[in-house]
Amino acid sequence: MIEEKFKLDNQLCFRLYTASRLLTQAYHPLLGEHGLTYPQYLVLLVLWEKDAQPVNDIAKRLLLETNTVTPLLKRMEAEGVVTRSKGKEDARQMIVKLTKKGRGLQKKLTDIPEAVGSAVLCESVTPETVPGLFGMLDDIIKQLHHQI
């Protein structure tokens, strides 16, 4: 007989992984219409908050390594969504800026946050409980980020 602690249904990691995977899948058709992937959408969200950022800052904001973000940015540059150029103060630094196309995507994607947000609403996740859920997830992310 398997111990309770080793049952799949008792694993927080499985629930978080499954929720993340399914949530990403919910974005797929919405972003696919615009030729975007979910990771590219995350980069756009960061740049829409503040344009012209170093690659390192984008990677930190997304809690990713620069070697993960760089190929993504290269693809986005090839698709005309961003430009990458050497920093004026530090030539070793690569600055990422939105192009006109990248800025224009914000208007085209305006309905996506609400569409995906609505998709997760259920008996226990309501507009009133979402801030608490964000808080719990932020706590988990912060705790794990400091341990790694």
Domain span at residue 45 reads: 11-111
SS3 113: helix
- pLDDT tier, 128 (very low <50, low <70, confident <90, very high otherwise): very high
Tokens for 82?
A: 């961003």
Does residue 143 lie within any of the structural domains? no
Instruction: Give the chain's mean pLDDT.
Output: 96
CATH of the domain at 103: 1.10.10.10
Does residue 73 lie within any of the structural domains? yes
Does residue 22 lie within any of the structural domains? yes
- pLDDT tier, 111 (very low <50, low <70, confident <90, very high otherwise): very high
Q: In terms of DSSP H, where are the helices of 33-122?
A: 38-49, 55-61, 66-78, 100-108, 112-120
Please tell me the distance from the alpha carbon of residue 23 to that of residue 38, in angstroms, as a whole number.
10
45-88 pLDDT, tens digit each = 999 999 999 999 999 999 999 999 999 999 999 999 999 999 88
Does residue 120 lie within any of the structural domains? no
Structural domain tally of the chain?
A: 1
Does residue 2 lie within any of the structural domains? no
